[in-house]
Amino acid sequence: MLLLQCCAITFVQGQTQHLGQIDTADLKLTSCDFEKGANAMVLFDKTEVNALTDVTIITRHRRVKILNKKGLEQADVTIEYTSKDHFEKITDVEAHTVYLENGVIKTIPVDKTLIYKQTEDKSTKTLKFSFPAVRPGAIVEFTYTRTVDFPGDVPDWNCQESLPVRYSLFDKKITTGYSYKILSRVYQGYDKNVREAIRNSSNDSTGVHYLWAIKDVESFTDEPFTTTPEDNIQNTRFFLLQTPYNDMKLRPRVHTWPPVTGLLLNDPYLRDELTKNLKDDSTLAAAKLLNTDEEKIGLLFNRVKNKMKWNNRYGTETNDGIKKAWENKRGNSAEINLVLYNFLRMAGIKSNLTFISTRSNGRIELDLPDVRDFNTMVLSVTANKKTYILDATSPYNTYNSIPFELLNCYSLTIDPAAKNYDLKVVKDTIPVRKAIFVNAQIKADGKLEGTAHISSYGCLKTNHLAAYAEDGESKFKESLTAGDNNLKILSLKRENMEADSLPLIESVGFKLDLTSSDENYIYVTPTVLTSFRNNPFINEKRQADIDFGYIGSYSIRSLYKMPAGYKADALPQGVSMTMPNKSISFKRIVSEQDGQILIRFSIDFSKSVFSVDEYPAIHDFYKKMFEMLNEQIVLKKT
């Protein structure tokens, strides 16, 4: 058995090569043989973990083939690591570009003076560099050593990514006394899967050696309505459960929620941040004039959100304290929301700290508690028997709706006064609404011209406000056309941008060329300026769960005036259908009177998350629904 394992290891190593040892065949490679159309591919990615001493030493060797111009983005590398208290350090960085020129192999090293480190916050740094002379056909590779000041800190093995991976290898050696819960989400067969004891000269076990390898892994496709790729890619995660202590006696790691919560509640630095008296007399004076707690919450939320600027970094702790953040009017998510916590406290309103792992951070493992899995801190406050989730980071968030980035995410809410906690998934039980009313004239020359009034509630309002601010009016108008070059936005008026309790109303003037029309017939598809123009679920198979974020209610009402000299030749018929589990329902009502055609669509969701196993039913329902949505009005010349 040992001989077989040794042979297996030798074979695995044959799939990787030393730095700079590159086959000419790979330099001549023009495409990925197991994923056609790839812009670049990982030839191999090798991670070796040595945790046999009082530190963990991780060496990484990665080699990427650039297949075309779109793959040139692989020339830039960023490596993030924990710099606080010198917990991690990156050394021995070697990198170069290799390519063929007139049949001769050229190697261009990365200038070491251009490999630089950048401080992101008080805990994190990034190491960055760019490969020189990168071109289609080139290979870029790098290697580095990461030293972690803890002997059992094992990184996750992500064997799938946004590029196809020809070969991925993970080689880990761990000393006796460390035990892990290993969660593996590898769906295709391993090329190699080895677990063996490490023994000394006396044949005593001193540790464990794991080695996994996988080959020809297709890239992870960014599918519609998913959370972060880390929730869905093929990977293996390691959760440390026990460590050696006092002559190798095992000390259980804190891995239940009460002790984790206790660590937070007893953190003197965090407790100190909860009792800061911040200076802003006008804000507190304005709050005192209001009658209800809900009014005070809304005012304080908007004052903090408008006065402070988010540095675009999530965090569960402060960098230099909230007093300094308030003075600078800038901070991470924890700093801004702790400022709000103190203003609420000074106004006599009790709020609780809520730690969340956002949609972009990924899911946490409930049975393996670790506060480090949460990446942001917000607030939870109750007024008039209603609980609000407050996140004052974005200038477009409102106090009375949950930001999309927090929906369907695990949260740990801590009451500092009562010293208790609540662990649950953040959900909005009230459907997020969107209502569209289209009033248009069908012209005899094959054009459609009119207005649309779009009312967006909750996080849909927030998303529209953010998109308009970030893209600008011109690009935002362009996004309303959904890529339809025949649709022109003539005007845009917006209302209720600052009113938290009112929907955002967007009044849009438009003109659409009905290109399918001819001299005798006019064809109109009644989904203009709606978000239901293209079916997002056309693929037969899907890799990831569907996560809409919120339950929704959509109402679309369209009134079309027919031109003189035309009559309705074919109209969509009224129809109603529902998913077998009643999670999604669709209804269409059609009527014609006095030269006008009225079509009403209603689409309602009572569920926001669907597993991959439910995808066939979703796929079939959406196929039928979009066939009905795209059924045309046909007018005939009389």
CATH code of residue 576: 2.60.120.1130
- Looking at the structure, do residues 246 and 265 belong to the same domain, yes or no? no
**Is a pLDDT exceeding 70 seen at residue 13?**
no
Whether 157 has a pLDDT exceeding 60, the answer reads yes
| pLDDT tens profile 539-582 | 999 988 999 999 999 999 999 999 999 999 999 999 999 999 99
Of the three residues 219, 251, 283, the one that is the final residue of a domain is 251
- 251: CB partners within 8 A, 6+ apart: 242, 243, 244, 245
User: What's the token pair of residue 241?
Assistant: 């459960």
Q: Are residues 269 and 200 in the same domain?
A: no
Residue with tokens 């009572």: 606
Q: Which of 377, 396, 425 is the last residue of a domain?
A: 425
Please give the average per-residue pLDDT across 83-112, as a whole number: 94
Single residue among 251, 269, 296 that ends a domain in this structure? 251
Same domain, 443 and 360: no
Confidence band of 148 (pLDDT split at 50, 70, 90):
very high
Compute the average pLDDT of residues 255-260: 77
How far, in Å, are 45, 103, 463, 470, 478 from residue 396 at the CA level?
A: 41, 57, 8, 11, 21
Say yes or no to pLDDT of 424 above 80: yes
Question: Looking at per-residue confidence, does 439 or 237 come out higher?
Answer: 439
pTM of the model: 0.81
How many domains does the chain divide into?
3
Check whether residue 593 and residue 469 sit in a common domain.
yes
What is residue 434's three-state secondary structure? strand
Helix or strand (DSSP H, E) at 282: helix 281-288
CATH of the domain at 38: 2.60.40.3140
pLDDT tens per residue across span 317-328 = 998 899 999 999
Query: How far apart, in whole angstroms, are the C-alpha atoms of residue 122 and residue 104?
Result: 47
pLDDT digit string (tens) for 571-584?
999 999 999 999 99
Give the pLDDT of residue 248: 37
How would you list the strands of the sheet with 192-199, edge to edge?
Answer: 104-109, 88-101, 139-148, 56-66, 40-51, 165-175, 205-217, 192-199
Please tell me the predicted confidence (pLDDT) of residue 107.
97
The stretch 372-389 carries a mean pLDDT of 94
Token digits of residue 150:
């803890």
Residues 140 and 19 in one domain: yes
- With cut-offs at 50, 70 and 90, classify the pLDDT of residue 426: very high
- Residue predicted with more confidence, 24 or 11: 24
Same domain for 436 and 418:
no
The residue-averaged pLDDT of 307-326 equals: 94
Residue 1: predicted pLDDT: 38
Q: Is 309 in contact with 333 (CB distance < 8 Å)? A: no
In which domain, by residue range, is 207 found?
2-251
The verdict on 180 and 312 lying in the same domain is no
Radius of gyration of the chain (CA): 29
- Quote the percentage of the chain above a pLDDT of 70: 96
Alpha-carbon distance of 614 to 62, in angstroms, equals: 37
pLDDT of residue 151: 83
What pLDDT, in 10s, does the model give residues 456-488? 999 999 999 999 999 999 999 999 998 899 999
Query: Which amino acid belongs to residue 324?
Result: K
Same domain, 99 and 179: yes
Only one residue has tokens 């106090």, namely 399
Q: Provide the pLDDT for residue 255.
A: 58
* 163 shares its domain with 21: yes
Strands 165-175 and 40-51: parallel
582-585 long-range contacts, CB within 8 A, separation 24+ = 582/606, 583/607, 583/610, 584/618, 584/621
Task: List CB contacts of 107: < 8 A, sequence separation 6 or more.
Answer: 20, 96, 97, 98
Looking up residue 265, the CATH number of its domain turns out to be 3.10.620.30
Q: How far is 93 from 114, CA to CA, in rounded Å?
A: 11
- Kindly state whether residues 40 and 119 are assigned to the same domain: yes
217 plus 268 within the same structural domain:
no
Query: Is the domain of 457 the same as that of 487?
Result: yes
